[in-house]
Structure 1
Amino acid sequence: MPRFWCRTTLRHVLPARSSFSTRAAMHAAAAARRLLASLAFAAAFVALAAGCGRSPESRASAGDTARASDTARAAAGSTYADEMARRHTGEEPVASPAARRAPDTAVTGREVVYGTVAGEKLTGYVAVPEYAAADSAAGDSAKLPALIAVHEWWGLNDNIRRVARRLAGRGFRVLAVDLYADRVGETPQEARRLMKQVTSDTKAIRRNVEAAYQHLAGEHDASQVGIIGWCFGGGVALNSAIALPGSLDAAVIYYGALENATREALRPVSMPIIGFFGAQDPSIPVERVRRFEQTLGELDKDAEIYIYEDAGHAFANPSGERYVPRAAKDAWQKTIDFLNYYLKE
């Protein structure tokens, strides 16, 4: 077992698929779930506003017992975005050879408008297997399981587009959303500013993710819809899982903030969750990850939580300086196995 991870927890053995599940039943359930989406989003993203906008100590007073380092940051008036800026000091999102890895099968990608918020168009990047794009052009059905991909704090940059293409190469329709309205951080200071601006208006985040879901589930009639996010996007993925317990079919969280992962918040979650964290990431203390894992277990949720011993924050980003290849490779394979099981019929 590689030293890069200190432990892996499979909270539940993957259950066998039901032999009596039918496409009709799934469609009926999906229609009912979509009706609940608008109502469910609001509550969880109100919590996101509180979590991202306040210091760790103020979040602790709302029910999350923070470790000593959180309290120290709070005393200095720190926020999660400030901590990220410190952790990424001197870095910039420059692509490495690993970031340029080609998809497993031919993929086509393009910019797409997937909705509107306050009259402004939401433009993201969609990637699909080439064979599916050809089928659609010919008028044939190109129904695929789908993923909403939520970018890191840098924004929707080339790294996220490449990851979307790699996921599409595994047989998914992937919509990489843009929460920064076509802006990208090139320095930690720019990324911090963008992240703070966006998290000050969580209704816009909610509507953005909801529009992505409706685009995939409605316009493309996706068979299943999951969500995946990294860093800032990992926190959005978790909050979306909390907000849409009856709509999303799977959630993948790469080192996303866990401040809102209280017992009451997690109680309605119904989709399977997989999470990846680095033991050397002071912005998400290991103790907090273990509490998250423990709470999911006590609530009898289908969840897999992995902690990599020698990895820190952003260990899976091949365009960053904190990239840990072996941990990233292991997490990627686990991600693909998880998505194949839960999103593909």
Structure 2
Amino acid sequence: MTQFHGYLAEEVAVDFGDGIITRREALRRLGLLGVGGVAASSLLAACSSDGGDSLTPAPATGSPSAPAPAGLPTEAVTFAGPGGRTLQAAWAAASEPRGTVLVVHENRGLTDHIRSVAGRLAASGFSALAIDLLSAEGGTASFADSAAATAALNAAPDERFVADMKAGIDELVRREPDQKPGAVGFCFGGGMVWTLLAAGEPRLAAAAPFYGPLPDGADFAGSRNAAVLGVYAENDSRVNASRDAARAALERANLTHEIVTVPGVGHAFFNDTGARYDAAAAATIYEQLLAWFTEHMR
């Protein structure tokens, strides 16, 4: 398995360890990801052990008392991708844009939650395009089962994701030629934003990977214009294991950056449809995200 394929399997194990899914469901999802029975059982055992394994999740401490504020509605759009492929996305246009943002989804594809993030950004002044990285498979909506969507992401090459995200930047520039583009991604999408930076995307003025895995040997020199806000959750040791490496890579590339570790929350705390959502923390980091984009995309 590649680094991101292993990450997706670990996501299943952590959900099991947090009690979000049953063992039976975890084994089913791992099977879809191509993880065999013995390896799957070992992964689940590691996550549920008390031995301090890096996969062992911290207790959930979120406060899911309120959903995220509503944003503008999005519209389904298509645009030209690499190799003559058609890419799908959700688009939300700000009335008076101060920049544009490529929104990269979690490991379940382009969901209503991710569409709502694009809508919120547009309401906050940043026209947003939430790309569907499962466009080549017919789009996220073609999967009745979110676990099957995850498995399809697992089977696709990282190079295709990079090419599709670059095409997403092309589309932002086409739609809003006078605005600087940025990117934000969550979980798997956070890892994709790190990957886009490592692949070299000099058009990005700002980027914000949320609790995403760092590609091995990341070199961000090619994304020389990006100011990077790296967001981590305190109770997310699995992803936090690469936090220092991310900081070092940003320093080597001499990129403007800030690494924020949000206290008292776990992985995916920003997702208001998930079990680890923390309304207060999500609201605070969203304001910090807007301030970051405002400063570096003007």
Q: Which residue of structure 2 lines up, in the alignment, with residue 183 of structure 1?
A: 140
TM-fit CA distance, 1:333: 1.1
The 3 A distance-change label for structure 1 pair 241 and 259 is: closer
Count of aligned pairs between the two proteins? 249
TM-fit CA distance, 1:220: 3.2
Q: Which residue of structure 2 lines up, in the alignment, with residue 102 of structure 1?
A: 70
TM-fit CA distance, 1:218: 2.7
Q: Is the 8 A contact 2:76 2:89 kept in 1?
A: yes
The 3 A distance-change label for structure 1 pair 203 and 267 is: closer
TM-fit CA distance, 1:299: 4.5
TM-fit CA distance, 1:152: 0.6
The 3 A distance-change label for structure 1 pair 171 and 150 is: same
1:224 matched to 2:180? The reply is yes
1:210 matched to 2:166? The reply is yes
TM-score when normalising by structure 1: 0.65
List runs of 5+ in structure 2 lacking aligned partners: 26-63
Q: Distance in 1 between matches of 2:78 and 2:120?
A: 21
Q: Which residue of structure 1 lines up, in the alignment, with residue 37 of structure 2?
A: none
Q: Is the 8 A contact 1:80 1:283 kept in 2?
A: no
Q: Which residue of structure 1 lines up, in the alignment, with residue 100 of structure 2?
A: 146
1:52 matched to 2:4? The reply is yes
Q: Of the candidates 55, 58, 79, which is equivalent to residue 114 of structure 1?
A: 79
The 3 A distance-change label for structure 1 pair 267 and 99 is: same
The 3 A distance-change label for structure 1 pair 268 and 207 is: closer
Q: Which residue of structure 1 lines up, in the alignment, with residue 57 of structure 2?
A: none
Q: Is the 8 A contact 2:75 2:90 kept in 1?
A: yes
TM-fit CA distance, 1:97: 7.5
In structure 1, give the amino acid aligned to 2:278.
V
Residues 119-198 of structure 1 mapped to structure 2, 5 A cutoff:
119-129=84-94, 131=95, 145-181=99-135, 182-183=139-140, 189-198=147-156
Larger Cα Rg: Structure 1 or Structure 2? 1
In structure 1, give the amino acid aligned to 2:197.
A
TM-fit CA distance, 1:188: 6.6
Residues 52-91 of structure 1 mapped to structure 2, 5 A cutoff:
52-53=4-5, 79-89=6-16, 90=20
Q: Which has the higher contact order (CA 8 A, sep 6+)?
A: 1
In structure 1, give the amino acid aligned to 2:228.
I
The 3 A distance-change label for structure 1 pair 144 and 296 is: closer
Deviates more, 1:108-117 or 1:329-338: 108-117
Q: Which residue of structure 1 lines up, in the alignment, with residue 236 of structure 2?
A: 281
Q: Secondary structure at the match of 1:320?
A: coil
Percentage of pairs with the same residue: 24
Q: Secondary structure at the match of 2:260?
A: strand
Q: Secondary structure at the match of 2:140?
A: coil
Q: Which residue of structure 2 lines up, in the alignment, with residue 58 of structure 1?
A: none
In structure 2, give the amino acid aligned to 1:163.
V
Q: Distance in 2 between matches of 1:291 and 1:186?
A: 37
